[in-house]
């Protein structure tokens, strides 16, 4: 049986040569992503802005306008509707009623339920979420904190483990990944909720995983080929790890593709974010973090330099 | 390196076998497991988003708590001053601005008053700080200010009681398998699985259930009452169902009796009108008090006050001596029953607000499980085929590792009593994709080493050695992200992080150690001249 090889042996692609072009494209895309977030904003879910979210499943797909006018006639606040998953499922967003009575939200839900049932028999509420302003504020704060800490923690780890250039380039690359993901959510206006924060953190983790593998190889080759020019060395390292980069991206892609297509509508946003993250993360490993090492002035190891910091003995595997 | 002594092989296989075995009860429906007598074995719990159910987060109303704290202190101060010999006369007590201040009539006794007050304060926390600061202002006015530590302690004590009360109320409602957890300083999380009406639950938990019996102040002028002016020693409180039409009534400030002196409360029906009422039984001291008060006040109305609102204000027709009474009001059977439950389980020491509520219908939960399982299965099959066509025998070993890993993750989750949520399933699918990354790294490295002209054994040895370092580093960074998610994430995100973290730990074992064992055994057995990888 002939085995499948997605990447031929001994590729020699000049990634580093393209770095200036890549930097420009990357910078433009990043600015575009920031611009999209700034102008369009994120479609924040109730997790982050507070409010009442009802997921309603209709027997036959209704027209959004009919549902909207039905709910707006109830005087429970302005509703915002969105189709969610299959055409028969609609998410209804309403403000949380301002009342200290614990039954107030239920009263709203029941009112909407009764009114919709009259016009659309067979409608069921499969999910309701109520998040108060205070809790949503905390959730945002924790979400932002988590992403910032993850990015910083990982950058510090790779700085301690290797030269500072690795830390900086990794940091820049992950920030890029996070911004691109946010930009994607601003453009598609997919709902941004707690699950997406988990997705962003996973993208950070995945992307870093990818960069670690390449950084590790660069470090290994720096020890092996002390005379080699840095550009050639990085090209060699990226080319050497290219089969693995592609293989892993494909396996993760297969898994996430299954999740996107078959995992149900609740996880769809999550799977979409992750898929994008895999593409962006792989791109940034090759074109942002590795190439940046040269711009940051990473020097080949001097022959005279004693190997005190990272002696060969440490490379003992299990 | 490729040398695996027999004991090592056995212990690796044993560890994996145990992991897989522990995961099995999770796949057996609970009812079946019980019939087989293995219902007690650890299993993975399903999160509410998969099983369906309601999640409520209740938060203590801290302003209410601070107020309660002041009121309690006011009572203590009054008693303490009365107890002095001779009693210290105080006046102009105020609880505004979050402090308790009063005026000592006899300037010479201010020091004695302060001395007595000191015994009321307690050290709180480790800092040696007391729970109240006592100060003298303008030489005759004493001011008591709760310290931060004191307030925190009061909150903690109140929340402990509140959690117990919430638990009792939920149990009394007959709720199945509720989870009640105190979260942080001032929150309680309540989770009830399945299709159960959260509205009734919320209505029950939203009640403080502070019951008081107060005499109605008949001297109050109806016009003053309408304008909210009460005679000295009385107060005006709402009375929504007042037969006179005025929704207010003047009652004496001091309660004759409170709900603290109840030992039981039951739903029953008034024998004459057949309306639902709540029958209450006082404890012996409460019964005596009630008897005395009713004897002294025959033919006067008294008000039954619940959470600051009058339910009804019947006349005392005759002394009630048996220690039993009926609370009437405009009850339905349900609301009378709810009140009975609330009274039985005691009053909440602090008002609770619902700040977060999530309800998932069981249908959606079942859909999610089905979709999640399908996605996991398809992901696994796709990855398994892809690995096999890419690496042949080595891919097959990696596949074996991945499949075992899925079961081991479930086994570890069952052991840790972890909860599987919908994002957790996503974590699973992702783990299937990333777990083979270790094998990809190893196999690519082996390929490279072969191209460099190494013998099969050397190539495998080198491949595992070089790749292991990379795998270790990559997984450490991945784990950093996971740990941060676990610490900072709320419910759903945490569920994802748990699977991710367990997956990282187990996948290193299955993907590196286990496959190395398989490869080395194969190499020893066949001693191939070349590797097909």
Q: Give tens-digit pLDDT for B345-391.
A: 888 888 888 888 888 887 888 888 899 889 989 999 999 999 999 99
Instruction: Tell which residue, B306, B297, B351, B300, has the closest CA to residue B329.
Output: B306
Instruction: Reply yes or no on whether the pLDDT at B260 is more than 90.
Output: no
Tokens representing A136 are 């949503």
Instruction: Reply yes or no on whether the pLDDT at A91 is more than 50.
Output: yes
Q: Hey, is B138 helix, strand or coil? A: coil
B220 within domain boundaries? yes
B532 within domain boundaries? no
Assigned CATH topology for domain A51-131? Alpha-Beta Plaits (3.30.70)
Same domain, B369 and B431: yes
Same domain, B207 and B271: yes
Q: Report the first-to-last Cα separation within chain A, whole angstroms.
A: 32
Instruction: Reply yes or no on whether the pLDDT at A183 is more than 90.
Output: yes
The most confident of the ranges A38-47, B27-36, B77-86, B330-339 is A38-47
Instruction: Tell which residue, B259, B254, B207, has the closest CA to residue B71.
Output: B254
Angle at which helix A230-262 crosses helix B422-451, to 10 degrees, equals 140
Question: Are A251 and B440 within 8 A, CB to CB?
Answer: yes
Using alpha carbons only, give the angle A14, B471, B412 rounded to the nearest 5 degrees: 145
pLDDT given for residue A308 in this prediction: 44
Instruction: Compute chain B's Rg from CA coordinates.
Output: 34
Q: Give the CA distances from residue A132 to residues A136, A266, B185, B357, B453, in Å, rounded to whole numbers and listed in that order.
A: 6, 21, 18, 9, 65
Same domain, B183 and B101: no
For residues A253-274, average pLDDT: 88
Same domain, B112 and B178: no
User: For A278-287, B12-21, B328-337, B368-377, which range has the lowest pLDDT when averaged over its residues?
Assistant: B328-337
Give me the residue spans of the domains in chain A. 16-44+136-302, 51-131
CA distance B347 to chain A (A): 17
Question: Are B466 and A220 within 8 A, CB to CB?
Answer: yes
Query: Between A and B, how many CB-CB pairs are < 8 A?
Result: 267
B285 within domain boundaries? yes
- Domain range A16-44+136-302, CATH class: mainly alpha
Place of tokens 């009140």: B339
ipTM of the prediction greater than 0.85, yes or no: no
Question: What is the Cα–Cα distance from A59 to A230, expressed in whole angstroms?
Answer: 64
Q: How many residues does chain A have?
A: 318
Domain limits at B34?
6-52+361-526
CATH of the domain at B448: 1.20.1640.10
B1 within domain boundaries? no
Which residue among A10, A102, A139 sits closest to B206, beta carbon to beta carbon? A102
What are the chain A neighbours of B497 within 8 Å (beta carbons)?
A: 198
Question: Mutating which of B52, B196, B356 best tests the A interface, going by the most A Cβ atoms within 10 A?
Answer: B356
B533 within domain boundaries? no
> If pLDDT is split at 50, 70 and 90, which confidence band does B45 have?
confident
pLDDT given for residue B32 in this prediction: 81
What percent of chain B is modeled with pLDDT above 70? 98
What are the chain A neighbours of B357 within 8 Å (beta carbons)?
A: 105, 128-131
> If pLDDT is split at 50, 70 and 90, which confidence band does B46 have?
confident
What are the chain A neighbours of B206 within 8 Å (beta carbons)?
A: 101-103
DSSP strand E in B231-375: where?
Answer: 234-238, 248-252, 257-258, 262-269, 276-282, 302-306, 309-312, 324-327, 352-360
Instruction: Reply yes or no on whether the pLDDT at B528 is more than 90.
Output: no
Same domain, B15 and B84: no
Same domain, B106 and B183: no
Final residue before a domain boundary, out of B91, B123, B147: B147
Instruction: Reply yes or no on whether the pLDDT at A32 is more than 90.
Output: yes
What are the chain A neighbours of B467 within 8 Å (beta carbons)?
A: 317
Same domain, B173 and B275: yes
Q: Mean pLDDT across chain A, nearest whole number?
A: 84
What percent of chain A is modeled with pLDDT above 90? 14
> If pLDDT is split at 50, 70 and 90, which confidence band does A176 have?
very high
Question: What is the Cα–Cα distance from B138 to B437, expressed in whole angstroms?
Answer: 76
For residues B71-89, average pLDDT: 84
pLDDT given for residue A314 in this prediction: 38
Handedness of CA B219, B223, B225, B227 (dihedral sign): negative
B384 within domain boundaries? yes
Question: Are B490 and A217 within 8 A, CB to CB?
Answer: no
Contact status of A318 with chain B (Cβ, < 8 Å)? yes
Instruction: Reply yes or no on whether the pLDDT at A317 is more than 70.
Output: no
pLDDT given for residue A310 in this prediction: 44
CATH of the domain at B138: 3.90.1070
pLDDT given for residue B405 in this prediction: 92
Final residue before a domain boundary, out of B316, B338, B356: B356
Instruction: Reply yes or no on whether the pLDDT at A14 is more than 70.
Output: yes
Give B303-324 pLDDT, tens digit per residue.
Answer: 989 888 888 888 888 888 888 8
Give B113-170 pLDDT, tens digit per residue.
Answer: 888 888 888 776 666 678 888 888 888 888 988 888 888 888 888 888 889 888 888 8
Same domain, B253 and B289: yes
Give A189-216 pLDDT, tens digit per residue.
Answer: 888 988 888 888 888 888 888 888 898 8
| DSSP structure class, residue B216 | B
Strands B309-312 and B100-104: unpaired
pLDDT given for residue A21 in this prediction: 87
B165 within domain boundaries? yes
B46 within domain boundaries? yes
Give A223-263 pLDDT, tens digit per residue.
Answer: 888 888 888 899 999 999 999 999 999 999 899 999 899 98
Give B192-220 pLDDT, tens digit per residue.
Answer: 887 566 777 777 787 788 888 888 888 88
> If pLDDT is split at 50, 70 and 90, which confidence band does A160 have?
confident
Contact status of A134 with chain B (Cβ, < 8 Å)? yes
Which residue among A146, A262, A266 sits closest to B489, beta carbon to beta carbon? A146
Q: Please, are residues B419 and B393 in contact by the beta-carbon 8 Å criterion?
A: no
Final residue before a domain boundary, out of B356, B376, B393: B356
Instruction: Reply yes or no on whether the pLDDT at A302 is more than 70.
Output: no
What are the chain A neighbours of B488 within 8 Å (beta carbons)?
A: 142-143, 145-146, 149
For residues B496-501, average pLDDT: 88
> If pLDDT is split at 50, 70 and 90, which confidence band does B235 have?
confident
The most confident of the ranges B11-20, B117-126, B240-249 is B11-20
> If pLDDT is split at 50, 70 and 90, which confidence band does B514 have?
very high
| CA A257 to chain CA centroid, nearest Å | 15
Place of tokens 């992403």: A147
Same domain, B502 and B464: yes
pLDDT given for residue A8 in this prediction: 82
What are the chain A neighbours of B450 within 8 Å (beta carbons)?
A: none
Environment class of A290 (CB within 10 Å of its CB; exposed 0-12, middle 13-18, buried 19+): buried
CATH of the domain at B309: 3.30.1360.200
The tally of domains found in chain B comes to: 3
B148 contact partners, CB below 8 Å, separation of at least 6: none
Q: Mean pLDDT across chain B, nearest whole number?
A: 85
Instruction: Tell which residue, B391, B392, B281, B396, has the closest CA to residue B327.
Output: B281
Same domain, B73 and B111: yes
């Amino acid at each position: 049986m002939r085995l499948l090889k997605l990447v031929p042996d001994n590729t020699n692609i000049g990634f580093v040569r393209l770095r200036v072009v890549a930097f420009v494209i990357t910078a433009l895309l990043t600015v575009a992503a920031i611009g999209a977030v700034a102008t369009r904003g994120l479609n924040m879910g109730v997790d982050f802005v507070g409010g009442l979210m009802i997921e309603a499943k209709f027997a036959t797909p209704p027209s959004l306008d009919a549902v909207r006018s039905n709910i707006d006639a109830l005087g429970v606040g302005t509703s915002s509707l969105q189709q969610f998953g299959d055409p028969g499922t609609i998410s209804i967003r309403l403000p949380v009623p301002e009342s200290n009575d614990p039954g107030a939200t239920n009263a709203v839900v029941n009112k909407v339920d009764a009114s919709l049932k009259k016009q659309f028999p067979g409608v069921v509420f499969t999910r309701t979420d109520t998040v108060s302003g205070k809790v949503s504020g905390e959730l945002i704060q924790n979400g932002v904190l988590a992403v910032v800490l993850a990015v910083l923690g990982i950058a510090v780890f790779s700085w301690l483990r290797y030269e500072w250039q690795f830390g900086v380039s990794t940091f820049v690359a992950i920030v890029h990944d996070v911004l691109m993901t946010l930009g994607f959510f601003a453009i598609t206006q997919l709902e941004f909720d707690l699950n997406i924060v988990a997705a962003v953190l996973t993208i950070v983790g995945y992307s870093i995983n990818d960069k670690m593998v390449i950084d590790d190889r660069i470090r290994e080759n720096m020890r092996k080929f002390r005379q080699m020019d840095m550009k050639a060395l990085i090209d060699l390292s990226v080319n050497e790890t290219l089969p693995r980069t592609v293989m892993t991206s494909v396996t993760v892609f297969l898994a996430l593709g299954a999740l996107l297509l078959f995992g149900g509508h609740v996880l769809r946003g999550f799977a979409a974010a992750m898929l994008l993250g895999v593409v962006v993360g792989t791109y940034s490993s090759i074109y942002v973090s590795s190439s940046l090492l040269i711009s940051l002035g990473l020097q080949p190891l001097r022959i005279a330099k004693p190997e005190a910091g990272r002696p060969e003995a440490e490379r003992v595997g299990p | 390196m490729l040398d695996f002594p027999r004991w090592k092989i056995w212990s690796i296989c044993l560890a994996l076998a145990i992991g897989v075995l522990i995961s099995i009860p999770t796949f057996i429906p609970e009812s079946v497991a019980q019939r087989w007598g293995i219902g007690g074995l650890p299993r993975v719990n399903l999160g509410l988003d998969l099983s369906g159910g309601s999640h409520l987060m209740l938060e203590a109303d801290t302003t209410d708590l601070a107020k309660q704290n002041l009121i309690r202190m006011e009572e203590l101060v009054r008693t303490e001053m009365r107890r002095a010999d001779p009693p210290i006369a105080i006046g102009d007590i105020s609880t505004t601005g979050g402090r308790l201040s009063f005026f000592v009539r006899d300037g010479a006794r201010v020091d004695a008053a302060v001395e007595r007050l000191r015994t009321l304060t307690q050290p709180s926390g480790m800092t040696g700080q007391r729970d109240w600061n006592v100060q003298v202002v303008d030489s005759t006015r004493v001011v008591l200010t709760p310290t931060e530590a004191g307030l925190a302690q009061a909150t903690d004590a109140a929340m402990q009681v509140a959690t117990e009360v919430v638990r009792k109320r939920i149990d009394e409602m007959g709720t199945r398998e509720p989870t009640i957890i105190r979260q942080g300083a001032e929150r309680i999380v309540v989770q009830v699985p399945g299709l159960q009406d959260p509205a009734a639950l919320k209505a029950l938990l939203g009640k403080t259930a502070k019951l008081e019996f107060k005499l109605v102040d008949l001297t109050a002028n109806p016009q003053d009452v309408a304008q909210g002016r009460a005679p000295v020693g009385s107060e005006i409180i709402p009375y929504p169902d007042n037969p006179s039409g005025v929704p207010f009534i003047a009652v004496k400030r001091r309660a004759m009796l409170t709900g603290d002196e109840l030992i039981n409360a039951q739903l029953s029906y008034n024998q004459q009108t057949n309306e639902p009422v709540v029958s209450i039984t006082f404890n012996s001291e409460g019964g005596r008090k009630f008897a005395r008060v009713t004897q002294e006040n025959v033919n006067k109305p008294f008000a039954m006050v619940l959470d600051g609102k009058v339910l009804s204000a019947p006349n005392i027709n005759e002394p009630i001596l048996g220690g039993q009474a009926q609370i009437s009001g405009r009850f339905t059977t349900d609301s009378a029953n709810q009140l009975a439950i609330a009274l039985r389980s005691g009053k909440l020491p602090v008002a609770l607000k619902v700040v977060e509520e999530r309800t998932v219908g069981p249908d959606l939960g079942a859909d999610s499980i089905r979709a999640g399982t399908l996605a996991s299965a398809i992901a696994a099959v796709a990855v398994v085929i892809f690995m096999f066509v890419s690496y042949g025998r080595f891919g097959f070993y990696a596949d074996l590792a991945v499949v075992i890993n899925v079961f081991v993750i479930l086994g570890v989750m069952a052991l840790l009593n972890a909860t599987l949520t919908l994002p957790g399933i996503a974590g699973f699918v992702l783990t299937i994709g990333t777990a083979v990354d270790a094998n990809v790294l190893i196999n690519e490295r082996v390929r490279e080493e072969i191209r460099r002209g190494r013998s099969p054994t050397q190539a495998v040895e080198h491949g595992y050695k070089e790749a292991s370092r990379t795998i270790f580093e990559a997984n450490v960074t991945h784990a950093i992200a996971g740990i941060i998610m676990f610490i900072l994430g709320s419910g759903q995100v945490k569920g994802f992080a748990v699977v991710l973290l367990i997956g990282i730990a187990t996948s290193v074992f299955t993907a590196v150690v286990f496959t190395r064992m398989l490869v080395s055994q194969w190499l020893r057995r066949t001693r191939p001249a070349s590797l097909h990888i």
